Structure 1
Amino acid sequence: MFRHSMRTLLVSLCALTAASQAATAVVLAVPADQARTTSTPARALRTQTLSDLTTAMKGEAYAYASYSLFAVQADGRTWSSGGKLAINKAGQAVGALFRSTAQTELNEHLREAAALAGAVGTNAANLRQSINGESYEHQVMYRGFAEQARKDGDLKAADLFTEIAADEGRHRNAYRTALTVLTTGRGTIPAPPMAKTVPVPAGLPKVKAARTKANLDTAMHGEALANAKYLLYAAHARQTGNAALARLFEGTAGVELHEHFAGEAVLAGLVRTTKTNLRTAITGERGEVTTVYPGFAKRATAVGDSAAARYFRNTAADEATHAAAFQQALNQLR
């Protein structure tokens, strides 16, 4: 994983699936998952260990989302006016490296941290968590960000924050309806939203105020984490026989990544040249190897959370491999 700014540790799971169904699905009975979860820790972890695992999940989710965008840029892909991709094969080796590393961050590192932290609960518990998060973003976070951006003269950011706030309100309402269906056994799970993919070309930031840049950074981390969590929740819903709920989580995850994260990335100037993106990735990976994960492992060991400590050490070793691979790719471009 890597850091996007010095203001925050990498914060805030995305598969490139944005499942969308045109029709709603009828739920005839409450799924029988009320007494079990997909990922339950073997014993209660210390508060600091749980906090460190959450930070790790946020970082891995953000790395996945960012590396996925870096891969598209490295491939030499360009977007036509009709929204189609034209592929230049010259940079595909670097693109493949970013893409495979992104998959490791999501499907290995993040999922293992989530399992250790017991991040996935019953379908009802997952919906309640989602409702709380969407409510905060709809009512507080994005409205506040929009007001600040407007005061600072960053009108494009203000408009985007306002648009996303409205989206999050719709997500909250859909999750509320799904929870009612789940708990009463009556009604239908709402159809999933359809993501409208936002292209993210390489470029400089489109905003000027430091506060707007900081808010974009916070927002992108949040969208990346929401995307990842919803994919985990979708997997649990499908495992417990609720395909309609799984589709709702998957569709919403796609919006969080392909619309919200991508739109914010454009304004933030997240994607630059391939060389710059590689340097950014190298710096972040090395920071995780030398500072972040060793610190987490030391704290977990001190309080007896041995499984978490082992995870932190193993992940640090993986990140060292990633840093070396990115450095080799950069050397070959010089």
Structure 2
Amino acid sequence: MFRHSTRTLMVGLCALAVAAPATPALAGGPQPVPPAAARTLHTQTFADVTTAMKGEAYAYAAYNLFAAEADRQGLTAAAGLFRSTAQTELNEHLREAAALAGTVGSNAANLRQAINGETYEHQVMYRGFADRARADGDLAAAKLFTEIAADEGRHRDAFRAALTAVTTGHGTVPAPSKADMVPVPAGAAKVKAARTKANLDTALHGEALAHAKYMLFAAYARKSGNTALARLWEGTAKVELQEHLAGEAVLAGLVHTTKTNLRTAVTGEHNEATTVYPQFAKRATALGDTAAARYFRNTAADESQHAAAFQKALNQLH
């Protein structure tokens, strides 16, 4: 996993794990309150686990974009490495962190969590981002932020209708909207203002986390027998990843050549393995959160292996 700001892709790498912005259920806003399943964790440990989830979700999304670029360059081995690592980040690291954080609750609780996040993104976050981008002359970003704000309002309304159906038995779960898939080729950033770049970074992490959470919620809904709700979660997750995040990635200039993408991955994974996760493990151990400490140590070991694999792939391209 790596956590880097899109702002720093042109000047270096920085870890967001230590100083990531506090977020509500999905992105932005006040620090989330631990659900009942995670209240055995100390506040600091819960914050670190939440940060890990954001980073793992973002790594999954970015690595899949890097894989697509490697495919375009005919670098099938590098593409396969990015995709396999992305699956580890999502299906192992993020899922384990989500279990520690008690992220998945009942269908009704999951819908309420998503409604809160979508409401914030619709009413506050994306509208504010659009206003600031417009003021700074980043009109393409302002347009995209405005469009996403409207989408998030529709997502909120669909989840509200689903919540009524789930809790009262009246009405039906809406069908999901279809994602308008956006290709993300390698390219430079298409925005100029520092705060637009910073807001794109926040948005990218928020959309990645929304996608990952919604897929977890979909799995729970399907297991509980509510296939219509599972389809709503899955369809919305695709919009967040393949349309929203992809559009933001184009403006942010997230994807570069495969060599550069591999260097980014090496630096990020090494930082996670040697600094971020060991710090999280040390804090969790001191607080007596042994399960979380074990998760952080195990994940650090995995990230060290990822860094080595990416470095080997990079060496083979020289």
- Normalised by the length of structure 1, the TM-score is 0.86
Q: Of the two, which has the highest radius of gyration?
A: 1
Unaligned runs of 5+ in 1: 13-38, 77-87
1:186-201 map, 5 Å = 186-201=170-185
1:1-334 map, 5 Å = 1-5=1-5, 6=14, 8-9=16-17, 40=37, 44-76=40-72, 90-334=74-318
Query: 2:17 corresponds to which letter in structure 1?
Result: L
User: How many residues are treated as equivalent by the alignment?
Assistant: 295
Offset at residue 117 of structure 1 (A): 1.3
Offset at residue 7 of structure 1 (A): 7.6
Query: 1:9 corresponds to which letter in structure 2?
Result: A
Matched residue SS, 2:75 = helix
Query: 1:111 corresponds to which letter in structure 2?
Result: R
Matched residue SS, 1:189 = coil
Looking at structure 2, the residues matched to 294 and 283 of structure 1 have their Cα atoms a distance apart, in angstroms, of 16
Greater percentage in helix: 2
State percent identity of aligned pairs: 75
Flag the 1:7–1:294 CA change in 2: closer, same or farther, 3 A.
closer
| Conserved 8 A contact 2:217-2:230 | yes
Offset at residue 4 of structure 1 (A): 2.3
Looking at structure 2, the residues matched to 137 and 255 of structure 1 have their Cα atoms a distance apart, in angstroms, of 14
4+ residue segments displaced more than 2 Å:
6-12
Looking at structure 1, the residues matched to 150 and 101 of structure 2 have their Cα atoms a distance apart, in angstroms, of 31
Query: 2:238 corresponds to which letter in structure 1?
Result: G
Looking at structure 2, the residues matched to 226 and 272 of structure 1 have their Cα atoms a distance apart, in angstroms, of 24
| Conserved 8 A contact 2:176-2:233 | yes
Unaligned runs of 5+ in 2: 6-13, 22-35
Q: Which has the higher contact order (CA 8 A, sep 6+)?
A: 1
Offset at residue 196 of structure 1 (A): 1.1
